[in-house]
Structure 1
Amino acid sequence: MKEALMMQGARTIMDNCVSLKAGETVLIVTDMVQENIAKVLAAAAVERGAEVVVSTMKPRQRAGEEPPKLIAESMKFADVVLIPVSYSVTHTFAVKEAAENGARLLVLTDFTEEMLISGGIEADFRAIKPVCKGVADAFAKGSKVHVTSPGGTDLWLDITGRRGNALYCVVEPGEFSTIPTVEANSSPVEGSANGRIVADASVPYLGIGVLNEPIVVDVKDGFITDIRGGRQAEVLKKDLASHNDPNCYNIAELGVGLNPKCKLCGIMLEDEGVIPTAHIGIGTSITLGGTVKAPTHYDLLMWNPKIEVDGRVLVDGDKVNL
C-alpha cells in the first residue's frame, strides 16, 4: 500500500515537473534496484495517457558511467526521460545527447521510496524558480568567483563565458534537471580553480554521506593536489586514485542549494538542495558547460558558503542577494 503514498510524488513529477501530456512517449530508465520507483512513475504516466516504455539495466558500477548503448539511443527519441537509478548517469553523453534531441529529462539518482512521499519533493518548484534562475543568471554574467566558508573553504574560480544552470525540477524540451534538489550551478574554466575546499556537510557518494569530520582538499590550476582528513577522506582519496585518470581531480562545478524542504541525510539529491550549502563538483563537467569527461563526478558539500561574483556578494549563508 506504500505505493499509494508514493503516487503523490509521482503525480507531482508528471504534472508540475515535466508537464506530461496524453499521447507523449515516456522512457523510464532504471536499474534492477530501483524498479519499484520506476513502477510507480510508470503508473502515474499511464494515468495521464502517455505511451510508457521502461528500460531496466544492471546498476552502473559508479557515478558517471554511461548507460548501455541500446538505452542511450532510445533516450534520443522520447518526449520525456525519467531516470530512477542507483548510480548517477546525469553527467553522461547519453543525457547530454538526449537533451540536444529535445527530450525533457528528470534524474532521480539513489531515490528512496520515502523521497516520493516527503522532503524535497514537497517544495513549490515553480515558486523557487525565480531565485534559482537569478543565481544562475548571475553566474552566467560573472567572471571571477570567490568562495569562502566558516569551515575554511577559500577558493577562486573563473567562470568567464560559462553558462549558469538553473535546476529547479521543472524542464522544458531540451532541458534536464535533477530532483528534488533545487540548485544553481556553473562550471569553471578549466585550469582556473585555485585554493582550498573544506567539505564539512556531506559527500553523498561512495557510502560517505554526512561527514563526521571535515575533508580538506587543496586545489591548484584547476585540479585537486591533496586530500586529507579522517576515514571518510581516505575513502574519497582511494576511489579517485583507483580510476587512474587525472580528470577525476578536475574542479568541475560550483553549485548552490536552494530547496527549503531538503534535509541533509547523505543522499545526493536531497543533500545538494539543502539551504545553506554549496557544493564543489569534481570530475566530469560536460553536462554543465565544461569540456571534461571523467570516469566520475562527485560533489563536496560545505555549510554556510559565502560566494562573491566579481566582488559582489551573491550568496551569504541562507541569504541570496539578487
Structure 2
Amino acid sequence: MHNRMLDKGADTITRICAQIQENEEVLIITETRYEAISDAIVRAVKKLHGLPTVMIMEARNRDGEEPDQIIAAAMKASDVFLCIVSHSITHTHAVKNATAAGSRGLVLTQFHEDMLIHGGITCDFVKAKETCMAVAECLENGHHIHLETAAGTNLTLEAEGRRGNALYGVVDPGMFSTIPTIEANVSPLEYTANGVIVADASIPYVGIGLLKEPVICTVEKGFITDIQGGEQAMILKEHLHNKQDPNVFNIAELGIGLNPRSSFIGWMLEDEGVYGSAHIGIGTSITLGGTVKAACHYDLIMKEATVSIDGKRILDHGSVLV
C-alpha cells in the first residue's frame, strides 16, 4: 500500500516536472537508503516508456561535493537526470556541465518517503510557473536589493548584470530545478552584500533544522563576519570554520520561497520553498550565476520577508506583490 502511495508523487516528478518522453534516457542517481523512492521513480519512468538507468552513489561527505567522474559523465550524456541523494550535489560542476550539454535535471536532496506523498509535492507546479518567473524577472539585474524581516534582518546587496533564476520544478532541456521547493533567486555581485541576517525559520543542514532561537549573522562586503545566537548558531559557526575555506562565508544567493503547499519541517527542499519566506544562500554560487566555488552551499531561512528592488517592493511581509 505504501509503495502505491509513493507512485503518485513519482508520477508528478517524472510526467509533469521532468516531462519525460518515450525513449528518453533517464539517469537516476541515488543511494541505497533511498531504494523505495528510486524504485517508485523507475516505475514511473517505465510507465512513460522512458529508459531508466540507476547509478548507486556513495553518499558524499558534504553538500556541494562533486559526484564521481563516471556519474558526472553519465549526467552529461543523459536526456534527464534525477538526483535522490542525502548531501546536495546541486551546486557542482557536474550539474552545471550536464545542463550546458542540454540535459535537464531535478534534485531531490534529503528526500524521505513522506515527501512523495504530502506537502510541497502536491503543488500545481505548472500553475506556479507564472509567479515564479515574474519574481525572478524582478530579481534579475537588480541594482539595489533590500531584504528585511520583522525578526531583524536588514540586508542590502547588488545584482546588476546577474540573471534571475526561476526554479518552479518543471524543467526543459538545459535546465535544472530542485523539488518540491519553488523559488526565485539571484546570486548577488560578490562583495556587495552588507547588513545583518536574522534566520528565524530553519537552517536545514548539519543537524540544525528548525530553529529554536534566531541565528544572527553580520555581513560585511559580501561575507559573513560574525555569527551569534544560541546552541544552533554555534553549531553553524563551528561547522563553517572547520571547512577551512573562507568562501563558505560568501553571500551566494537571495531566494524567495513560492510553494503554497510547503511548510517548515526542518528539511531543506520543503523549508526553502515555503511561500513568502526568504533565504540567503552562503558559499558556492556558480550554478546560480555567481563566480564562487566553496566547500558547501547552505541556506539561512527567514519567515515572512519583505524584499524591495530599486525602490519597488515585490514581497511584503510574506505576501507576493508581482
* TM-score, structure 1 as length reference: 0.99
CA distance in 2, matches of 1:186, 1:276: 16
Task: Provide the residue aligned with 1:211 in structure 2.
Answer: 211
SS of the aligned residue for 2:4 comes to helix
CA drift of 1:109 comes to: 0.3
CA distance in 2, matches of 1:317, 1:94: 37
CA distance in 1, matches of 2:17, 2:317: 27
User: Is 44-53 or 286-295 further displaced after alignment?
Assistant: 44-53
**Are the aligned partners of 1:32 and 1:59 in contact in 2 as well (CA < 8 Å)?**
no
The one-character-per-residue Cα deviations of 1:249-273 (angstroms, maximum 9, x if unpaired) are: 0000000000000010000000011
CA drift of 1:181 comes to: 0.4
**Partner letter of residue 82 of structure 1?**
L
CA distance in 2, matches of 1:69, 1:297: 21
Q: Are 1:253 and 2:253 matched, yes or no?
A: yes
Q: Are 1:265 and 2:265 matched, yes or no?
A: yes
CA distance in 2, matches of 1:318, 1:229: 24
CA distance in 1, matches of 2:319, 2:120: 19
**Partner letter of residue 237 of structure 1?**
K
CA distance in 1, matches of 2:35, 2:221: 42
CA drift of 1:96 comes to: 0.5
CA distance in 1, matches of 2:201, 2:218: 17
CA drift of 1:210 comes to: 0.4
**Partner letter of residue 105 of structure 1?**
G
Alignment of 1:225-264 (within 5 A): 225-264=225-264
**Partner letter of residue 283 of structure 2?**
G
**Are the aligned partners of 1:202 and 1:209 in contact in 2 as well (CA < 8 Å)?**
yes
CA drift of 1:318 comes to: 2.7
CA distance in 1, matches of 2:101, 2:143: 30
CA drift of 1:317 comes to: 2.2
Task: Provide the residue aligned with 2:30 in structure 1.
Answer: 30
The one-character-per-residue Cα deviations of 1:109-154 (angstroms, maximum 9, x if unpaired) are: 0001011011100000111111100000011142110101000000
**Partner letter of residue 39 of structure 2?**
K
**Partner letter of residue 321 of structure 1?**
L
Task: Provide the residue aligned with 2:78 in structure 1.
Answer: 78
**Are the aligned partners of 2:222 and 2:251 in contact in 1 as well (CA < 8 Å)?**
yes
CA drift of 1:33 comes to: 2.0
**Partner letter of residue 205 of structure 2?**
Y
CA distance in 1, matches of 2:252, 2:35: 31
User: Equivalent pairs: percent with the same residue?
Assistant: 52
Task: Provide the residue aligned with 1:275 in structure 2.
Answer: 275
**Partner letter of residue 226 of structure 2?**
D
CA distance in 1, matches of 2:270, 2:46: 27
**Are the aligned partners of 1:96 and 1:287 in contact in 2 as well (CA < 8 Å)?**
yes
Q: Are 1:66 and 2:66 matched, yes or no?
A: yes
Q: Are 1:21 and 2:52 matched, yes or no?
A: no
CA drift of 1:36 comes to: 2.1
CA drift of 1:54 comes to: 0.4
User: Is 47-56 or 243-252 further displaced after alignment?
Assistant: 47-56
CA distance in 2, matches of 1:101, 1:192: 32
CA drift of 1:31 comes to: 1.5
**Are the aligned partners of 2:276 and 2:320 in contact in 1 as well (CA < 8 Å)?**
no
SS of the aligned residue for 1:62 comes to coil
Q: How many matched pairs?
A: 322
Q: Are 1:115 and 2:115 matched, yes or no?
A: yes
The answer for unaligned runs of 5 or more in structure 2 is none
The answer for unaligned runs of 5 or more in structure 1 is none
CA drift of 1:32 comes to: 2.3
Q: Are 1:100 and 2:109 matched, yes or no?
A: no
The one-character-per-residue Cα deviations of 1:5-62 (angstroms, maximum 9, x if unpaired) are: 0000000111110111110000001122222211111111012111111001111111
Task: Provide the residue aligned with 2:164 in structure 1.
Answer: 164
CA distance in 1, matches of 2:142, 2:189: 12
CA drift of 1:320 comes to: 1.5
Alignment of 1:119-138 (within 5 A): 119-138=119-138
User: Is 176-185 or 15-24 further displaced after alignment?
Assistant: 15-24
**Are the aligned partners of 1:132 and 1:258 in contact in 2 as well (CA < 8 Å)?**
yes
Runs of 4+ in 1 over 3 A off after TM superposition: none
Q: Are 1:223 and 2:244 matched, yes or no?
A: no
The one-character-per-residue Cα deviations of 1:60-104 (angstroms, maximum 9, x if unpaired) are: 111111111110011001001000100111000000000001111
CA distance in 2, matches of 1:121, 1:93: 27
